[in-house]
Amino acid sequence: MKRRDFLLNSSLGLAGAMLVPDILSKTDTILGHNNKRYSINSRWSQADVSQYPVNDCHEMVQDQKGRILLLTNETRNNVIIYDKNGKLLDAWGTEYPGAHGLTLFNENGTDVLFICDNTRHQVIKATIDGRVLMTLDYPKESGMYSKPEEYIPTETAITPNGDIYVSDGYGKDLILHYDPQGRYIRHFGGRGDGAENLLNAHGICVDLRDKTRPCLMVSSRQENAFKRYDLAGNYLQTIALPGAWVCRPVIKGDYLYAAVLQSESRQGHQSGFVTILDQQNRVVSNLAGSTPSYSGALPDEMYQTIKAFQYPHDVCVDDEENLYVAQWNSGKTYPIKLEPV
C-alpha cells in the first residue's frame, strides 16, 4: 500500500489526529517485556511548536556528539537537533518536502547524513549542518526506471567501506546498490512471488552483529517481515513478524529495534507499537504490544495492547539505551522518549 492510498483509506479524522493518547500522561505506565521495559516521557521535546513545527516525524539518529537529530517533512525546519534532555539546539532545512529517510554515517571520523526525499525522488548526502555533498538522482542506469516519478526512495544503509544501499520503498521495491562515489553497481529485490522479493521495502540497515557474515536487513512491510540478504544482494532468510507493519530496522548492540506502524487487522486505527528482536531475531519485547510467545513460532498476529502510540515510524536508540519514537500522521506531535526501567 502506497502512502497516498493509506491516507485515503485511513479512518483517522483530523480531530482525532490532534489528540495525544491519555496513557502518555500517566507516569507509572511501563511498556515492554522481559529485559526490555521502559517508562514514558511524552513531554521530552522542549521545542516551541510556533517556531519549530513538525509535520510527519519520520526518523531520528544520534550523532557522535550525543545530539539527537529529527527529520520531518515540515519545510520550515526539516532537521531539528536536540540534546538528550529534549532541549532544542539547532534546526535547518527548507528544501526537503518529502523528507523520509535519515541515516547517519561516520565517514573517516566525520558524521554525514543521507536523506531520502520521496517528493524530490532523490537521495541527498549532507554534512551534519546541512551542506549538500552529493545527490543521487533516480537510477536510470539500472534499466528499471523510465522517469524520476517511478523512484520513491525511503531509506539508505551504508556499509563500513561507504557503499550505499537505497530502498525504493514506495516505488518499485528494489534495493539499489552504489559505491561510495555514488556509481550504480546492481539492484535486487523488487516485487514478485518469490521469497527474495519485497512488498513495501520501507527500511534497510547493515547488520554487523555476526562479524563473520555481515548482511542487509530489509523491511518487507506489507508482508509483515524482515528479509536478510548478503551484501551482494543474495537472499538469505525471511523473519516473519505476524501482523506487524515494520518500519526500518535499527540495530544497537545485540538487539534490533523497529517501529510498527500498525497491526494488520487494525489498519488505519492508530494501532502501532514498537518491537525488539534479539540476536537470534526472535521478538523479546513489544512496547505497547502483545506479549511475545514462541511455541515453534510467533502467534498469528502481534497487536497493540496499550494506546501509547498512534503511527510510530522510527526508533532511535541513544548511547544510554533510551529510545526515541518518531510518529507519522499523528497530529504533528513531537517524538516520545522511552527510558529503560
Share of the chain above pLDDT 90, in %: 89
Mean pLDDT over each residue of the chain, to the nearest integer:
93
* 13 pLDDT more than 80: no
Taking Cα atoms as reference points, which of 210, 234, 209, 206 lies closest to residue 218? 206
Mean pLDDT across the stretch 68-84? 98
pLDDT, tens digit (0-9, with 9 covering 90-100), for 129-175: 999 999 999 999 999 999 999 999 999 999 999 999 999 999 999 99
Structure confidence at residue 25 (pLDDT) = 57
pTM here? 0.92
pLDDT at 325 over 80: yes
Where residue 78 falls among pLDDT bands split at 50, 70, 90?
very high
* Res 54: pLDDT: 98
In angstroms, the CA 234 to CA 7 distance is: 34
What does the pLDDT average to over 189-215? 97
Statement: residue 11 has pLDDT above 60: no
Cα gap 180→257, rounded to integer Å: 26
Q: Is 75 exposed, middle or buried (0-12, 13-18, 19+ CB in 10 A)?
A: middle
Q: Which CATH class is domain 3-340?
A: mainly beta
Q: Which 3 state secondary structure label does DSSP give 305? A: coil
Give the model's pLDDT for residue 8: 39
Task: Determine the pLDDT at residue 296.
Answer: 77
Predicted local distance difference test score (pLDDT) of residue 155? 98
pLDDT recorded at residue 292: 94
Confidence of residue 26 (pLDDT cuts 50, 70, 90): low
- Residue 300's pLDDT band, with cuts at 50, 70 and 90, is confident
Provide φ and ψ at 13, rounded to 5°: -85, 165
pLDDT for 294 equals 86
R_g over Cα of the chain: 18
- Cα separation of 260 and 265, whole Å? 13
- Tell me the three state secondary structure of residue 7: helix
**Looking at residue 243, what is its pLDDT?**
96
Tell whether the model's pLDDT for residue 9 goes beyond 80: no
pLDDT in tens, 28-43: 799 999 999 999 999 9
Domain definitions of the chain by residue range: 3-340
**Confidence tier at 10 by pLDDT (50, 70, 90):** very low
Instruction: Strands of 99-203 (E only): list them.
Output: 99-107, 110-117, 122-127, 132-136, 155-158, 164-167, 174-178, 184-189
